A and B are shown apart, each in its own frame.
Chain A
């Protein structure tokens, strides 16, 4: 448990080492990155092993940092952050495995990647909003370079759009945080202090502060109509970055909403709750329909992320224990699933076929040529649809249960969203991998396509990465308790209980 802050430091040191090693040997840089990410992940798992679930944050480090501003370097964790830390470790490890084929500026790539991861770890560990914000911004910049330098289609545009949206979101957060800080007399940035001060803010102040902070974070979480950066950015990004961006970085936004915006300003939450819920619902359904008509494979996944994050936001907006625990579970689940899907599309398929157009893929019997990729994508797709047995299902079920308690209308629309998700995922599966299903027997197919499409076999890092993610989604799908036992007690803390109505669990 106490080793958790090391995840940040280890990642940063790894980044530096990878940068140095990259100049001499690409292989060394890769291995350094992989080892770093694995160590980070193992630290989170180790922390998970001796984690005693309970309400409230368990402090890990707490020292004065900038006393003039009342800033303390305060790192802490509870069940929610632990869930997301484990996810980060997993996604980082898998991401590095799926970047094994990067040949250009390897050291810099992994250095940026690990810096991004360090930022993400830091956000999930912060108990002081200032520290939170610092890590949050540290995570923004590497994204630009990862996408702009190693990305594909329209990468500079996608990178710039993504980073500007993120930064605009963080500016909103900064404004809101500073407002609250100043209104509280400028004494402290500690979550607990500001929450305690929340009672002194007028309802109008709370509504304003909540709007700024929540919106700022929600931009990063891909809330409709501020989601447009997500598909373009994720499509442009290199595979590992897409995996991490969609899988983990979008969660930063949702986590910020949950950790900062909601508990600090209960009156604000109450005021904005319906708006958020409806935006989330529109996002779920709208993004689903947009995904249904995409012609670029990766855009389907990009929009599916927006749709799934809509469920997270809806769960948060429903604001009861069940719904919020479902939302956190969905964060984990989507992190794994989005990683899996982007890995298949970006790495396994695109790096071999050099096309992501459905019209091209339709003509290639991919399921025969890349059976492992097909299997992975089918499993990932099923998980993404919310098929029971995979992690998406308990998450969506819990969200539905919780949302129903708050508003049956929202829940009904969300159920409609599940249907749309099934429709676009199934379409993607069927068009991409099973576009050509020859009836003329295996021999004829091999003859017809054997020479045209001679794809490199799936490599071991790809297999390992895919296995990790699949195992995670199935394990959590069958035993969501593992995470819920961390999450639910965390929601019992007084900070959360003031905003979570009902939802006895």
Chain B
């Protein structure tokens, strides 16, 4: 199993190549092949889980080969608990998103191929440990995403796709510069080596050789690249139109997996490599994260377009992850910092990533279903009384809503609870402000539930509203099932990351 990780990353791409070669395949065949290849990630991920040793802290299944000697680049893949969870998430969300796109009629082959490319790129981001190919995957993920939005998106898709890519590349350009600077200073772009240098302070020293304000600029460059991707408030403006215009399957993947790439970057790159700078900046970064939490929630409340509402809720949920991370960073090296709180916050972050992936994907799918049933309408006030016409749909969508809201017993609760517990221990005032966001989240999700499924009939006659077909139930059920399972048995995931998080929390000292 020396090439397990490569296999995970490249199998979807092989699938894409196969689809590209099958120029005359029938749509049904194409879809089946795509689904099969997308499921490979889940299979291989579970295989990895089975062989994964949670007690070991570092990367496992490591692949490291010489690649570009002139730039000291190695082909370096590795998997730890964090990566593993995100691989699993990708493995779940992608097939579901493909199932959700089963009805795409126009050029299904291209659609599926792009989707598999997207999947492979995301997996590459989660597994690469050298900036060079990490960045390859990071940037290449934009290409299929761009075309998925552009070609299959809504009426404003062209603008949205353009904005999405340009914002992200804008961030990445400066991240690239940051890594150019890091390489200029250290001669390596390997995350592990850079993290070591960052941990013992050598990096800061070497970067400082440039003098002046520049070491900070390097940090800011890397921060910018990641912040746009997550997005961190106020770099989020690309997000609502993009999620709203993207086709349902793409929205599911964007929010379920791609937004996690940013958070992953924060955890894998920014925090380990720049512990001091992050600590120094965490004061105002906390405010930005809070801005995301509160503003995201209130903005969602003001939306009448359901898709935009869910989009803003994503902003809100992901800001929790960053809030926790920044709180940990802010508390680093402070007297009285308990590693218990830090462990809670960090575990919460990781679990929240997974959970949000499930719930947001499910919600986008539900909105997509509403849209499909109503002939393109997705206004908050266009519907009403759907529960009577489509009880199964209402039930499943309700579960997704409540999971997103953080109802105890469902998965969403676990992550948010841990985050709040951790943040409360590290930065109580931030937790208090974030509660505002929590309230607003509850408010708008319940409004969603109430207006659409209860209440008087809107523009769309509820009588003609068909309940879920078997295919749709099949699409939604894995997500819903996992919400329950992880709600009551979060240890399955927590067990994979516990030692990792504990080790992170154990070095809460500044170099």
A residues with a Cβ closer than 8 A to B are: 322, 325, 378, 382, 385, 387-389, 393-394, 396-398, 400-405, 408, 411-412, 414-416, 418-419, 422-423, 426-427, 430, 434, 437, 439, 441-442, 479-481, 484-485, 488, 505
Contact B177 A394 (CB under 8 A): no
Known: A394-B68, A430-B162. A387 touches B176 (CB 8 A): no
B residues 156-189 in Cβ contact with A at 8 Å: 157-158, 161-162, 165-166, 169-170, 173-174, 176-177, 179-181, 183-184
Chain B: which residue is nearest A402 at the CB level?
B184
Contact B151 A426 (CB under 8 A): no
Chain A: which residue is nearest B211 at the CB level?
A408
Would you give the shortest CB distance from A418 to chain B, in whole angstroms?
4
Contact B174 A415 (CB under 8 A): yes
Contact B158 A430 (CB under 8 A): yes
Q: Which 4 A-B pairs have the closest CB atoms?
A: A484-B70, A400-B180, A388-B136, A415-B177
The answer to the question of B103 belonging to the interface, with a C-beta cut-off of 8 Å to chain A, is no
Instruction: Name the B residues within 8 Å of A378 (CB-CB).
Output: 143
Contact B140 A389 (CB under 8 A): yes
Would you give the shortest CB distance from B247 to chain A, in whole angstroms?
11
Known: A382-B143, A437-B150, A479-B68. A412 touches B180 (CB 8 A): no
The answer to the question of B432 belonging to the interface, with a C-beta cut-off of 8 Å to chain A, is no
Contact A408 B173 (CB under 8 A): no
Bound together, the chains give a CA A485 to CA B71 distance in angstroms of 11
The answer to the question of B210 belonging to the interface, with a C-beta cut-off of 8 Å to chain A, is yes
Instruction: Name the B residues within 8 Å of A404 (CB-CB).
Output: 177, 180-181, 184, 210
Instruction: Name the B residues within 8 Å of A387 (CB-CB).
Output: 139-140, 143
Partner of B184, one of A396, A405, A430, A488: A405
Bound together, the chains give a CA A488 to CA B214 distance in angstroms of 28
Q: List 15 A-B contacts (CB under 8 A).
A: A382-B143, A388-B132, A389-B136, A415-B176, A415-B221, A416-B173, A419-B166, A419-B173, A422-B169, A422-B173, A426-B162, A430-B161, A437-B158, A481-B68, A505-B70
Known: A382-B143, A434-B150, A441-B106. A415 touches B183 (CB 8 A): no
Bound together, the chains give a CA A505 to CA B181 distance in angstroms of 15
The answer to the question of B465 belonging to the interface, with a C-beta cut-off of 8 Å to chain A, is no
Contact A388 B139 (CB under 8 A): yes
Contact A388 B151 (CB under 8 A): no
Instruction: Name the B residues within 8 Å of A488 (CB-CB).
Output: 70
Instruction: Name the B residues within 8 Å of A434 (CB-CB).
Output: 150-151, 158
Bound together, the chains give a CA A377 to CA B170 distance in angstroms of 22
Chain A: which residue is nearest B133 at the CB level?
A388
Bound together, the chains give a CA A262 to CA B247 distance in angstroms of 54
Chain A residues touching B, majority SS: helix
Partner of B166, one of A401, A402, A422, A485: A422
Instruction: Name the A residues within 8 Å of B68 (CB-CB).
Output: 394, 479-481, 484
B residues 92-117 in Cβ contact with A at 8 Å: 105-107
Known: A394-B68, A408-B210, A434-B150. A400 touches B162 (CB 8 A): no
Known: A388-B139, A488-B70. A441 touches B105 (CB 8 A): yes
Partner of A322, one of B169, B179, B184: B184
Contact B71 A398 (CB under 8 A): yes
B residues 128-157 in Cβ contact with A at 8 Å: 132-133, 135-136, 138-140, 143, 146, 150-151, 157
The answer to the question of B17 belonging to the interface, with a C-beta cut-off of 8 Å to chain A, is no
The answer to the question of B217 belonging to the interface, with a C-beta cut-off of 8 Å to chain A, is yes
Partner of B71, one of A412, A426, A480: A480
Would you give the shortest CB distance from B123 to chain A, in whole angstroms?
15
Chain B: which residue is nearest A444 at the CB level?
B106
Q: Interface size class for chain B?
A: 35 or more
Chain B: which residue is nearest A389 at the CB level?
B136
Would you give the shortest CB distance from B448 to chain A, in whole angstroms?
27
Contact B70 A481 (CB under 8 A): yes
Instruction: Name the B residues within 8 Å of A400 (CB-CB).
Output: 176-177, 180
Contact A415 B140 (CB under 8 A): no
Bound together, the chains give a CA A430 to CA B177 distance in angstroms of 27
The answer to the question of B69 belonging to the interface, with a C-beta cut-off of 8 Å to chain A, is yes
Contact B139 A412 (CB under 8 A): no
Would you give the shortest CB distance from B26 to chain A, in whole angstroms?
14
Contact A426 B165 (CB under 8 A): yes
Would you give the shortest CB distance from B384 to chain A, in whole angstroms?
28
Bound together, the chains give a CA A282 to CA B139 distance in angstroms of 26
Instruction: Name the B residues within 8 Å of A396 (CB-CB).
Output: 176
Partner of A397, one of B71, B105, B161: B71
Contact A412 B70 (CB under 8 A): no
Chain B: which residue is nearest A325 at the CB level?
B70
Instruction: Name the A residues within 8 Å of B180 (CB-CB).
Output: 397, 400-401, 403-404, 411
Instruction: Name the B residues within 8 Å of A437 (CB-CB).
Output: 150-151, 157-158
Chain A: which residue is nearest B168 at the CB level?
A422
Would you give the shortest CB distance from A346 to chain B, in whole angstroms?
24
Instruction: Name the B residues within 8 Å of A505 (CB-CB).
Output: 70
Residue of B70, B150, B214 ringed by the most chain A CB atoms within 10 A: B70
Partner of A418, one of B143, B165, B176, B210: B176
Instruction: Name the B residues within 8 Å of A480 (CB-CB).
Output: 68, 70-71
Chain A: which residue is nearest B187 at the CB level?
A504
Contact B217 A419 (CB under 8 A): no
Bound together, the chains give a CA A437 to CA B136 distance in angstroms of 28
Partner of B217, one of A412, A422, A423, A441: A412
Chain B: which residue is nearest A367 at the CB level?
B151
Would you give the shortest CB distance from B147 to chain A, in whole angstroms?
8
Would you give the shortest CB distance from A173 to chain B, in whole angstroms?
31
Instruction: Name the A residues within 8 Å of B135 (CB-CB).
Output: 388, 393
Contact A430 B150 (CB under 8 A): yes
Bound together, the chains give a CA A487 to CA B111 distance in angstroms of 41
Would you give the shortest CB distance from A323 to chain B, in whole angstroms?
10
Residue of B71, B135, B161 ringed by the most chain A CB atoms within 10 A: B71
Bound together, the chains give a CA A27 to CA B205 distance in angstroms of 66
Would you give the shortest CB distance from B89 to chain A, in whole angstroms?
24
Bound together, the chains give a CA A378 to CA B165 distance in angstroms of 14
Instruction: Name the A residues within 8 Å of B69 (CB-CB).
Output: 481, 485
Partner of B70, one of A411, A416, A426, A485: A485
Bound together, the chains give a CA A385 to CA B166 distance in angstroms of 11
Bound together, the chains give a CA A161 to CA B55 distance in angstroms of 70
Bound together, the chains give a CA A484 to CA B277 distance in angstroms of 34
Would you give the shortest CB distance from B146 to chain A, in whole angstroms?
8
Known: A412-B217, A422-B166. A442 touches B71 (CB 8 A): no
Contact B173 A418 (CB under 8 A): yes
Chain A: which residue is nearest B209 at the CB level?
A405
Known: A388-B139, A405-B184, A430-B162. A442 touches B106 (CB 8 A): yes
Would you give the shortest CB distance from A157 to chain B, in whole angstroms?
34
B residues 30-59 in Cβ contact with A at 8 Å: none
Partner of A419, one of B70, B170, B183: B170
Chain A: which residue is nearest B146 at the CB level?
A426
Bound together, the chains give a CA A427 to CA B162 distance in angstroms of 8
Instruction: Name the B residues within 8 Å of A397 (CB-CB).
Output: 71, 132, 176, 179-180
Bound together, the chains give a CA A203 to CA B138 distance in angstroms of 48
Would you give the shortest CB distance from B148 to chain A, in whole angstroms?
12
Instruction: Name the A residues within 8 Å of B181 (CB-CB).
Output: 401, 404, 408, 411
Chain B: which residue is nearest A434 at the CB level?
B150
